[in-house]
Structure 1
Amino acid sequence: MAESSKEELVQLIKRFGAFLTVKMSNLFSISFHNLNSRSVGAVAGLAVAIVFTWRLLRTPSGPQRRQPKRQAPAASSSGNSSHSNTTFMPSGVSTPSEDVRAQNVVDELFQPVKPTLGQIVRQKLSEARKVTCRLLGVILDESTPEELQKGATVRSSVLEVLLEITKYCDLYLMERVLDDESEKKVVLALEDAGIFTSGGLVKDKHIIYSLELMMYLQVLFCSTEIGRTSFVRQLEPDWHIDTNPEIVSQLSRFIKYELHISPTRTERPASNVFSSPSLEQFFGSV
């Protein structure tokens, strides 16, 4: 280990010496008539540094182990002789593999740190405190109220994003349903997905509040699309997330930001309206 450290020191000094040599050659290319007192002092300092480096290089780095002489291989009876082709690498010269390893270390040190999902959510929502979001086509796999009469399924890919939003914002989930049974199916699906229990949340009449995490989640139901629009207007959220382009367009005058979830790219009705194929893709979690 000591031998390796000394060799590294010698290599460093050699590189420094080469650097000084270049500097000296550049300096001496200037006419001595143009040198002032500071230039002369710089020349003297460089000369002293070169002498010091030269003396260090002359100092042996350590006791050298005597290398035994190689014996020429004896010729075989068949007349064929084997030759050993051994390539010797000068001491202190870095191999290509060492250069690659060194470059990999440098790349790892300067690799940008990837932000967490929580940081992305906060950045995307612009420090919002209240978010409203429809269920169909965003949180649920189903896309129509008629499908909810058969059952409700929470999208597994959206759960992580949804729970991150509830850490920073009051979240209101809302949807139009055709009957009370559909409402029960939705609440049961949300409960089975762990939305009500994650982080110590407690379900009570579709209102969920956690004193520990200071998060608030409420599930609202209505019988018409106008009712959902009315919910959003009354709550005055910082963000509203919806799949209905007409509702998004109507609310763009009243809501600070909106996210239109649509599988196809649509024209933005206003500058405060954003579009994405899914909620999780908007936050870059998939």
Structure 2
Amino acid sequence: MAESAKEELFQLIRRLGGYLSVKMSNFFSISLQNLDSRSVGAVAGLAVAILFTWRLLRSPNGSQRRQRKRQGTAPSSSGVDTHSNTTLVPSGVCATSEDSRAQNVVDEFFQPVKPTLGQIVRQKLSEGRKVTCRLLGVILEESSPEELQKQATVRSSVLEVLLEITKFCDLYLMESVLDDESERRVLVALEDAGVFTSGGLVKDKVLFCSTENGRTSFVRQLEPDWHIDTNHEIISQLARFIKYQLHVSPIRPERTAANVLSTSSLEQFFGCI
């Protein structure tokens, strides 16, 4: 009986090995830097799945052996063959069934895992560590300094992306305003939206200037990996100096340079809508 169990385990490992050899090349093509706790847990899950699959495949055979043993030792008063009602299953059918079960375990493990928003942010930003971004039209609902003299409203749809960026990048927000009251409104709106609670962004990294040229100077001084803006002229001026830029515009503009990408909104760029 022990020899039979060993043989079953050997056959299961052999079958799993065949399927794993096909799957592993694709699985390990994923960069190690993208592995997280979910991936490590999945590897542990595979080991558990192999163990339980072996026990599952072993269980029916063990039951059949015990049943045959009981039938063989039980007294027969009628003289009728005790095995006459036993259903004989061809060994080829059993092997096919076990192959199918083993393949199902492997296929289920190697189902593609949807990347998290954090992984998408890092991939889209090409692992960039410093990002500058204007507020109007990107983070705020308002699109002009004149509107900020009345109100400042953070776009709810962009919050999740914004917070993820602050986890991985040194983020600076900037805008040109017409008065000190506009600055206060913007900071209050950001604070009420919870932007400063994550620890990745502080008020000192929200910069204000009086002109559009002032924002260009901020970006040049900070030398970010990415700059995000809605002003086509600023995007064009900075194309020579900034590694990557994202032009946010409701109308897809003509591409000005190879390092300039365009999107209708920040959250759309990261696939959130």
Q: Same fold (TM over 0.5)?
A: yes
* Closer, same or farther: CA 199–61 of 1 in aligned 2, 3 Å: same
Of stretches 255-264 and 276-285 in structure 1, the one that deviates more from structure 2 is 276-285
Q: Give the unaligned 5+ runs of structure 1.
A: 17-59, 67-87, 208-217
Match of 1:142 in 2: 142
Match of 1:276 in 2: 263
Match of 1:125 in 2: 125
Instruction: Provide, for residues 100-128 of structure 1, a one-character-per-residue CA deviation record: whole Å limited to 9, x for no partner.
Output: 98776443211123322222222222222
Instruction: Provide, for residues 231-270 of structure 1, a one-character-per-residue CA deviation record: whole Å limited to 9, x for no partner.
Output: 1112211110001111111110111110011122222100
CA separation in 2, counterparts of 1:89 and 1:178?
Answer: 89
Q: Is the 8 A contact 2:173 2:206 kept in 1?
A: yes
Cα offset for 1:150?
1.8
Match of 2:243 in 1: 256
Match of 1:107 in 2: 107
* Closer, same or farther: CA 111–263 of 1 in aligned 2, 3 Å: same
Task: Tell me which amino acid in the other structure corresponds to 1:281.
Answer: Q
Match of 1:71 in 2: none
CA separation in 2, counterparts of 1:135 and 1:100?
Answer: 56
Cα offset for 1:91?
8.3
CA separation in 2, counterparts of 1:116 and 1:249?
Answer: 32
RMSD (Å), alpha carbons: 3.8
CA separation in 2, counterparts of 1:106 and 1:258?
Answer: 42
More helix by share: 2
Aligned length: 209
TM score, norm. by length of structure 2: 0.63
Match of 2:176 in 1: 176
The 5 Å alignment of 1:116-265 reads 116-199=116-199, 206-207=203-204, 218-265=205-252
CA separation in 2, counterparts of 1:196 and 1:235?
Answer: 20
Q: Give the unaligned 5+ runs of structure 2.
A: 16-63, 72-86
In terms of Rg, which structure is larger?
Answer: 1
CA separation in 2, counterparts of 1:166 and 1:182?
Answer: 24
CA separation in 1, counterparts of 2:247 and 2:114?
Answer: 26
- Partner of 1:174: helix, strand, or coil? strand
- Partner of 2:123: helix, strand, or coil? helix
